Structure 1
Amino acid sequence: MSESAKPRTGSCQCGAVQVQIQGTPLEMHLCHCSTCQKVSGSVFAALVTLKEEQLTITVKPGLDAESTLKVYKGAPGDNSGSVSERTFCSTCGSQILLRNNYMPGISMVPLGILEPYPLSEDGSAGIEGREGGDGEGWAMKPMIEYWCVRKRQWVGETGAELVFKTGPETVEDLAELKKIFGLA
């Protein structure tokens, strides 16, 4: 994916935490594992993957970052064997960041906390952004789907290039992901 000239922003529900992404994310994926279902409160999580140096997280002036940003560490669902670290806003509970120990240097941000398209000067969304006309590559479609054994039957095909029955199942799978993420 090409580099985006304009940083993308987002925030938690209450606005206490802001995120900014420089450049174009590595990919966007869907995860149907039981943990992502519980954390998202939905039937899958949609996550944007990027290198850690592309991401800046800040809290509103006057708030303490340590008390505003809380981290939950635990094993992801469905016995994947990896350990995840999920950062969330302690005020509203919005998930801000996810990291897995098998991909050092990589961060994932929930797609839903990011502004989906540029706002016009009056704060409303322009039609050109909704149709992907911003030229920035943010009309992303999922590149990867994980834990499709947990995928709800009524969720249709997404057109993802890589589809895993569970997580990365082999050393080759992990190598392919590292290649996509520029870690190989």
Structure 2
Amino acid sequence: MSDSATSRTGSCQCGAVQVQILGKPMEMHLCHCATCQKLSGSIFGAYVTVKDEQLTITVKPGLNEDSTLKTYKDTSGASGNANDHTFCGICGSPILNRSPLMPTMRVVPLGILEPYPLSEDGTAGTEGQEGDDGETWEMKPRMEYWCVRKRKWVGETGAELVFKRQPDTDEDLKKLMTIFGLG
């Protein structure tokens, strides 16, 4: 299951929370909904979806996990689902999102993952992570959600599935299941 050539590590802004994804993510997507705009502090959120067993989250030794990892249950989304948003209680960086519609999957903000390995002095390097196949982490988003809220000046991504809002037809859901390897 895990493929070290496609593993990625990352952290929150202050470094108190570390994440590791083993193997290839199921997909990468963009979301332009109001919730993702507020969570990211930007005009859309960029995420990778992984299976539970691919994701490891650790808190820096000496820190209390309960006060460092916080979860906000969001019931304000247009989907009507109560999504959990986990974040660092020290610096506020988003760590992951959980949806009741995908109980065995986690959605990780792409921005907390390191695009390059750290050099020996701890600074960011400029090359892909060791053994990276060059495509897995530079992939384009396969889906875009809530494009009705997309800023007009944001270009086309070439996403395979583009939704004005949430996917809601049986055909849309079937396409999603195929992308997630569940259909």
Same fold at TM > 0.5: yes
Number of matched residues? 179
In the superposition, relative to structure 1, how do residues 178 and 104 fare at CA in structure 2: closer, same or farther (>3 Å)?
farther
What amino acid does structure 1 have at the position aligned with 2:152?
Answer: Q
Q: Which residue of 1 aligns with 2:52?
A: 52
What amino acid does structure 1 have at the position aligned with 2:133?
Answer: G
Deviations 1:18-72 (A, max 9, x none): 0000000011100000000011110000011111110000000011111110101
Q: Which residue of 2 aligns with 1:180?
A: 179
| SS of residue in 2 equivalent to 1:177 | helix
What amino acid does structure 1 have at the position aligned with 2:165?
Answer: T
Q: Which residue of 1 aligns with 2:84?
A: 85
Aligned equivalents of 1:51, 1:134: Cα separation in 2: 20
Contact 1:76 1:84 in 2 (8 A): no
What amino acid does structure 1 have at the position aligned with 2:161?
Answer: L
Q: Which residue of 1 aligns with 2:109?
A: 110
Aligned equivalents of 2:24, 2:157: Cα separation in 1: 21
Aligned equivalents of 2:76, 2:4: Cα separation in 1: 34
| SS of residue in 1 equivalent to 2:95 | strand
Establish whether residue 74 from structure 1 lines up as the match of residue 77 from structure 2: no
Contact 2:50 2:106 in 1 (8 A): yes
Deviation at 1:76, TM superposition (A): 5.2
| SS of residue in 2 equivalent to 1:70 | strand
| SS of residue in 2 equivalent to 1:29 | strand
**Displaced runs of 4 or more, over 6 A:** none
Deviation at 1:129, TM superposition (A): 2.6
The runs of 5 or more residues in structure 2 that have no matched partner are: none
Deviation at 1:120, TM superposition (A): 4.0
Deviation at 1:173, TM superposition (A): 1.8
Deviation at 1:182, TM superposition (A): 2.4
Q: Which residue of 2 aligns with 1:11?
A: 11
Contact 1:96 1:113 in 2 (8 A): yes
Establish whether residue 119 from structure 1 lines up as the match of residue 118 from structure 2: yes
Deviations 1:97-119 (A, max 9, x none): 00111112010100000001233
TM-score normalised per structure 1: 0.89
Contact 1:143 1:160 in 2 (8 A): yes
RMSD: 2.0
Contact 2:116 2:124 in 1 (8 A): no
Q: Which residue of 2 aligns with 1:23?
A: 23
